[in-house]
A and B are shown apart, each in its own frame.
Chain A
Amino acid sequence: GAGVSQSPSNKVTEKGKDVELRCDPISGHTALYWYRQSLGQGLEFLIYFQGNSAPDKSGLPSDRFSAERTGGSVSTLTIQRTQQEDSAVYLCASSLDWGAGKYFGPGTRLTVT
Chain B
Amino acid sequence: AQTVTQSQPEMSVQEAETVTLSCTYDTSESDYYLFWYKQPPSRQMILVIRQEAYKQQNATENRFSVNFQKAAKSFSLKISDSQLGDAAMYFCAYRRTDKLIFGTGTRLQVFP
A contact set with B: CB distance below 8 Å: 31, 33, 35, 40-45, 48, 50, 56, 59, 89, 91, 93, 98-99, 101-102, 104-107, 109
Chain B neighbourhood of A102, CB < 8 A: 47, 100
The count of residues in chain B whose C-beta lies closer than 8 Å to any C-beta of chain A is 21
> By DSSP majority rule, is chain A's interface helix, strand, loop, or mixed?
strand
A48-B99 contact in complex given A42-B104, A42-B105, C-beta closer than 8 Å: yes
Residues of A within 8 Å of B93, CB to CB, are 43
Q: A104-B44, A104-B45, A106-B43 are in contact. Are A45 and B99 (CB under 8 A)?
A: yes
A42 touches B44 (CB 8 A): no
**Given B45, B50, B101, which contacts A91 in the complex, CB threshold below 8 Å?**
B45
Which residues of chain B have a CB within 8 Å of any CB of chain A?
4, 6, 37, 42-47, 50, 91, 93, 97-105
Complexed CA–CA distance, A41 and B107 (Å): 11
**CA–CA, A99 and B52, complex, Å:** 12
Can you list 12 contacts pairing A with B, beta carbon distance less than 8 Å?
Answer: A41-B104, A42-B4, A42-B102, A42-B103, A43-B102, A44-B102, A56-B98, A59-B99, A91-B43, A104-B44, A104-B46, A109-B43
Tell me the bound Cα distance from A105 to B99 in angstroms: 17
Known: A48-B98, A48-B99, A102-B100. Is A43-B91 also a contact (CB below 8 A)?
A: yes
What separation, in Å, do the CA atoms of A35 and B98 have in the docked complex? 13
Q: Which partner residue on chain A sits nearest B102 by CB separation?
A: A42
Q: How far, in whole Å, are A48 and B97 apart by their CA atoms in the complex?
A: 12
